[in-house]
């Protein structure tokens, strides 16, 4: 039985009135409902909250992304103004580490105008406290970005929360996973006729197939492309990743660092799905962006110098070396985040140099 949260009751009433809803509709309400949505009221990040992200594990993660941003700024010709945009900034930890590292490059901080895309008021306050020296300002989404200069975008664990439609094949036909009410009046998953208008994006149906599509991702990349084409820019996203044609659906709910039933305690658990960066690359190229193949987080960080940065930190604080090494291993270890997460980038114009960190890397010294 699902927990009877206010949002659970609201969903039940809506389903009773209008019938089963799609998973994207469910995710949107669960995460972004103005009053009861998870991201509108929860402080979810940290050891004492629901989940921990890479920036909270080690400063090295954010520092290397800061160096990546500096290199992209150089690639853009070191413009005197650049809009630095972060989607899902959490507590501001990643950006604080990134800008501390980027400050070593003369002119970058003077050029950078910091814009944070955040709807959670509690997190906005935390970001303001962490990043006050950089005078950030906030917007609710990409549509509110009034770009008048080149743009650099980053997003760590941002794409995985975009609403995701889920499909399965039975008897040679695609069916969509929907949220309905069972005989007891509780929320349950069912298969029904497709309602989300993404059938042209689905492959040829073969029995046993599962498939996931983020309906809003093509539009997001189209809007990003328009901004980049007007002013030039580059984006970097790091996230859980898999192929869209998988052995099972990837929707999961996280509460207190544990996986729980996505239909339980709606509005009080984080919902995510794995990201198909190959599909993102196809969408990006269709709207004129350059999008090299994704690389594992392990390869990305090691190519950028994660091991060398660890050595510097360990030499400066020898007593902390074991903990520093453990943190690095969590980021790049093959059985940890190293291969479950991938980094992906897109940019315009196509004349920009190849982005740092994206040639395939050989395995580095930070083994499991």
Q: What pLDDT sits at residue 363?
A: 39
| Per-residue confidence (pLDDT) for residue 50, from 0 to 100 | 57
How many other CB atoms sit within 10 Å of the CB of residue 244?
Answer: 21
Pair of tokens at residue 77: 């010709």
The pLDDT mean for the chain works out to: 92
Residue 201 confidence class, pLDDT cut points 50, 70, 90? confident
Structure confidence at residue 47 (pLDDT): 45
E strand or H helix that includes residue 298:
helix 297-304
Q: Taking residues 156-163, report their average pLDDT.
A: 95
Query: What is the mean pLDDT of the segment spanning 84-107?
Result: 97
Instruction: Quote the pLDDT of residue 244.
Output: 58
For the stretch 51-69, pLDDT in tens is: 689 999 999 999 999 999 9
Predicted pLDDT at 243? 63
Q: Which two tokens stand for residue 352?
A: 């920009």
Cα→Cα distances 11→28, 32, 166, 266, Å: 11, 13, 19, 9
Return the half-sphere exposure (C-beta side, CA atoms, 13 A cut-off) of residue 73: 27
pLDDT of residue 230: 97
180, pLDDT greater than 70? yes
Q: Report the side by side order of strands in the sheet with 151-156.
A: 137-139, 112-117, 82-87, 151-156, 233-240, 341-348, 295-296
Quick one: average pLDDT of 84-94? 96
Instruction: Write down the pTM of the prediction.
Output: 0.92
Residue 123: Cβ within 10 Å count: 22
In the numeric block, the tokens 């949220």 are attached to 179
**Domains assigned to the chain:** 6-36+164-213 (no CATH), 40-157+215-241+276-348 (3.40.50.150)
- pLDDT tens digits, one per residue of 312-353: 999 999 999 999 999 999 999 999 999 999 999 999 999 999
Per-residue burial over 227-239, b if 16 or more Cβ lie within 10 Å, else e, is bbeebbbbbbbbb
Closest CA to 345 of 66, 72, 160: 72
Question: Cβ(153)–Cβ(238) under 8 Å?
Answer: no
Scanning 36-180, the segments in alpha helix (DSSP H) are 38-41, 54-57, 59-75, 93-102, 108-111, 121-131
Asked if residues 85 and 145 have their Cβ atoms less than 8 Å apart, the reply is yes
Tens digits of per-residue pLDDT, 244-254? 566 678 999 99
Task: Classify 220 as helix, strand or coil.
Answer: helix
Which is higher by pLDDT, 21 or 39?
21
Confidence class for position 256, pLDDT limits 50, 70, 90: confident
pLDDT at 3 over 70: no
Q: Tokens 């960066």 — which residue?
A: 277
Name the nearest CA neighbour of 292 among 356, 363, 224, 217.
356
> Residue 206 — pLDDT band, cuts 50, 70, 90?
confident
């Amino acid at each position: 039985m699902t927990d009877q949260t206010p949002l659970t009751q609201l969903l039940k009433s809506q389903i009773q009135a209008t019938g089963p809803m799609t998973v994207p509709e469910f995710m949107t309400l669960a995460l972004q409902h103005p009053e009861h949505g998870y991201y509108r009221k929860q402080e979810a990040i940290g050891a004492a909250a629901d989940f921990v992200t890479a920036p909270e594990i080690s400063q090295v993660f954010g520092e290397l992304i800061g160096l990546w941003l500096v290199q992209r700024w150089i690639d853009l010709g070191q413009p005197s103004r650049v809009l630095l945009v972060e989607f899902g900034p959490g507590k501001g930890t990643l950006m604080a580490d990134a800008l501390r590292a980027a400050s070593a490059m003369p002119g970058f901080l003077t050029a950078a105008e910091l814009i944070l895309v955040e709807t959670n008021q509690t997190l906005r306050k935390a970001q303001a406290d962490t990043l006050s020296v950089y005078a950030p300002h906030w917007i609710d989404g990409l549509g509110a970005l009034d770009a008048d200069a080149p743009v650099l975008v980053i997003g760590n664990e941002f794409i995985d929360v975009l609403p995701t439609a889920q499909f399965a094949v039975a008897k040679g036909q695609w069916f969509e996973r929907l949220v309905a009410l069972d005989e007891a009046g509780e929320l349950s998953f069912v298969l029904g006729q497709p309602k989300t208008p993404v059938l042209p994006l689905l492959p040829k149906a073969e029995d046993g197939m599962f498939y996931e599509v983020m309906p809003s991702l093509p539009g997001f990349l189209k809007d990003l492309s328009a901004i980049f084409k007007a002013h030039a820019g580059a984006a970097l996203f790091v996230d859980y990743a898999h192929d869209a044609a998988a052995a099972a659906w990837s929707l999961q709910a996280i509460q207190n660092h544990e996986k729980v039933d996505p239909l339980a305690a709606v509005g009080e658990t984080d919902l995510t799905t794995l990201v198909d960066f190959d599909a993102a690359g196809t969408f990006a190229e269709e709207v004129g962006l350059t999008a090299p193949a994704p690389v594992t987080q392990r390869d990305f960080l090691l190519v950028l110098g994660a091991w060398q940065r660890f050595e510097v930190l360990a030499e400066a604080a020898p007593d902390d070396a074991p903990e520093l090494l453990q943190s690095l291993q969590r980021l790049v270890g093959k059985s940890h985040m190293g291969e479950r997460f991938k980094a992906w980038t897109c940019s315009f114009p196509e004349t920009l140099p190849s982005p740092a960190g994206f040639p395939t890397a050989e395995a580095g010294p930070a083994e499991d």
